A and B are shown apart, each in its own frame.
Chain A
């Protein structure tokens, strides 16, 4: 079946540091890929998405590129802020069903 694997967390960074959260997937067919963010005590919010190979999703300074050859969708940001502290989930959808990674906790210190 489909699966998503994220890098182990938690990740702790200083403000203005660079961020990369790795995500790889296995899926049948041609899935769409998503990054969701969850702030403390809240539900998930869609951060960005990519629907086909080589697409780049971007939002709020975050980027991720759909790499079919490496089955990856790594999340990157050039300069993180304290307000970026949250849990980040990589996910794919295949035939309407979302499959999530286990989540990566990001903490950014001033």
Chain B
């Protein structure tokens, strides 16, 4: 079955460390997204990518970085510059083609990041 795989499910980071969250999709979708979910605040967009080798900042990009070298993969790095990284991170994709108004996004099961 096609879908989005996020790994790991739980991740722990020491202060000052960078950490990378994996997101892989086999839906043949062109657009991919990273969201951060905090209790009572809904989802906020970190970065998104419409096509390979291209990505744009979302609403809360500071302290995060991404790459899009392959259509199937959109890893997110949480850098030491992110002062409050503890959250639930969700990856999503949509397609085919560039993101459009009518396309729903398909979500992975998320990665919960905690600071030790």
Contact = CB atoms under 8 A, between A and B. Distances in A.
Interface in A1-43: 4, 30-32, 34, 36, 41-43
Contacts of A61: none
B109 interface: yes
Given A31-B101, A32-B101, A44-B90, A100 B42 contact: yes
A94 B101 CA distance: 6
B104 A46 contact: yes
Interface string A78-110: 000000000001000111111011110000000
A42 B110 contact: yes
B100 interface: yes
A42 B109 contact: yes
Contacts of B2: none
Interface of A: 4, 30-32, 34, 36, 41-46, 49, 51, 89, 93-98, 100-103
22 contacts: A4-B42, A32-B101, A41-B109, A43-B4, A43-B6, A43-B107, A43-B110, A44-B43, A44-B107, A49-B104, A89-B43, A94-B101, A95-B101, A96-B50, A96-B100, A98-B33, A98-B43, A98-B45, A98-B105, A102-B42, A103-B40, A103-B42
